[in-house]
Amino acid sequence: MKRILTSLILLLGASAAALAGTVPLVPPPPKVEARAYLLEDYHSGRVLAEKNADQRMEPASLTKMMTAYVVEQELRLGNISMDDKVRISEKAWRMPGSRMFIEVGTQVSVRDLLMGVIVQSGNDASVALAEHVAGSEEAFVSLMNSYAKALGMTGTHYVNATGLPHKDHYTTARDLAILARAMIRDFPEHYSLYSEKEFTYNGIRQFNRNKLLWQDPSVDGIKTGHTESAGYCLVASAQRGEMRLISVILGTKSENKRASESQKLLTYGFRFFETHKLYDAGEPLTEVRIWKGAKERLALGLAEDLWVTVPRGHYDDLKAEMRLPPQIIAPVEKGQVIGVTNVYLGDKKDQPWAKRDLVALEDIPEGSLWQVISDEVLLWFE
C-alpha cells in the first residue's frame, strides 16, 4: 500500500571487506595539553575531538577573528573600501599590547590595517578599524555581538575589538570553530591573508605568530591569541585534498605548546578520517508523484551540499535513505521541505550519520479544476 511511508534506499557503494553491521573503531584523540579544544571538519561540520568545548574562555587576540569578520562584511556591503584612508586617533595609537606601530594623526589604508590585524595582531590597528567602521570602538563591538548572534555563537560576548582582558569578554571553543567556518566560507577572497607569514609597516617587519604556517604546508590560517590569564591559544585550519579541518586550542602554556597541540589534533583528523561530498545543492535526487498539480512529477533535492566525514577506509559503507510522505498535494513552493534524507554508516539505523531535509526544487501550482477532480478520484483508489 502506498499509504505506508515511502522509503528509497540508495546504495552509495559496496565494499567486500566492510564489517557488516558494525561502525568502524577509531582510536581516541591524542592527549592534548589545553584547557579546552575542538577539532571538526569544515565541510561536514562533524566534530572529531573535543574537551570543554562549551566552557566560557577568555579569547585574547582570537577576538580579532570577529574584528576582521565585521570589517570584511562592511567591505562586501560597500560601506568601506580597501583603499579608504583611516585617520589614526590617539586612542588607537595608545593601545597597549601587540601593535603594528601606526602613528597618531597619520592616515593608513584599510588594506594595511587589516593586514596589521591579521598578521601582526595589532591592537592599534583593531581600534583604528573599529572607529572607521562604526565611529567608535563601543559601537563596533555592538556589531561584533550582532554577528556572533547571527552565526549562532551562543556562548560568546564581546566587550572590545582587541581581546584585552575583561570579565564580560568571553567565547567558547565551539563558537570559535563556528566563526572560523564562517570566515572561510563567506570571504574566500580574503582568507588567503591568514596564511601570510609576515607584514612590514612603518619600516618594522613582524612575523605571523602562527608557527604552523612554517611547520605544515597544509596549514593556511587562522589566528593566535595570548594573555597571561588566557594562556596561549590558536585557531588553525589545514587542507589536504578536498578535506579541510579546523582546530581550536585554548589555554596552553607556551607558543610551542599551542602549535604542537594543534598539530596533534590535525594529524589525528587527517590520519583517521576522510570527507566526501555526496550530493550537490540543487541536484535532483529523485522525482515523486505530486497530486492535483499543474505537473505530475516533482523533483526533490537538497538546499545545501551534503558532505560526510567518516572513518578512513569506510566510505563504501555509507547508505542513504529518503523518507517521504505517502502523498504530496499541490501547490508546492520551491524550497519547501517535503521529506528527509538520512545517511547511515553500515547497518546502524538507530542514529543517522548525517541527516538533511529534502526540498522541492521547483514551484508547482495547483492544476486545473479537471486535474484536481480527476486526481481526487484517483486518490480514493490509492
Mean pLDDT over the full length of the chain? 92
Side chain identity at residue 220, one-letter code: D
**Active-site residue 89, yes or no?**
no
Q: Residue 7 above 60 pLDDT?
A: no
- 47 plus 185 within the same structural domain: yes
Catalytic entry in 89, 98, 121, 247: 121
Q: Count how many residues are written for the chain.
A: 382
**Active-site residue 2, yes or no?**
no
- 145 plus 76 within the same structural domain: yes
Kindly state whether residue 266 falls inside one of the protein's structural domains.
Answer: no
Kindly state whether residue 314 falls inside one of the protein's structural domains.
Answer: yes
**Active-site residue 254, yes or no?**
no
Distance set, CA 370 to CA 153, 292, 293, 303, 365 (Å): 52, 9, 11, 33, 14
Catalytic entry in 44, 64, 89, 211: 64
- 73 plus 208 within the same structural domain: yes
50 sits in which H/E element: strand 47-51
For the chain, the domain total comes to 2
- 216 plus 282 within the same structural domain: no
- 292 plus 237 within the same structural domain: no
Query: By residue range, what is the domain housing residue 298?
Result: 6-19+278-381
**What's the pLDDT band for 373 if we cut at 50, 70, 90?**
confident
Give me the pLDDT at residue 13, please: 36
CATH of residue 216: 3.40.710.10
- 317 plus 248 within the same structural domain: no
pLDDT digits (tens, 9 = 90+) for 103-142: 999 999 999 999 999 999 999 999 999 999 999 999 999 9
pLDDT digits (tens, 9 = 90+) for 323-354: 999 999 999 999 999 999 999 998 877 789 99
Q: What are the grid coordinates assigned to 333, written together? A: 513552493
pLDDT digits (tens, 9 = 90+) for 35-69: 999 999 999 999 999 999 999 999 999 999 999 99
Q: Residue 338: is the preceding peptide bond cis (ω within 30°)?
A: no
> Rounded CA gap, 341 and 82, in Å?
43
CATH of residue 336: 2.60.410.10
**CB of 52 closer than 8 Å to CB of 248:** no
Catalytic entry in 44, 61, 89, 247: 61
Q: What are the grid coordinates assigned to 89, written together? A: 586617533
Kindly state whether residue 257 falls inside one of the protein's structural domains.
Answer: no
Give me the pLDDT at residue 25, please: 77
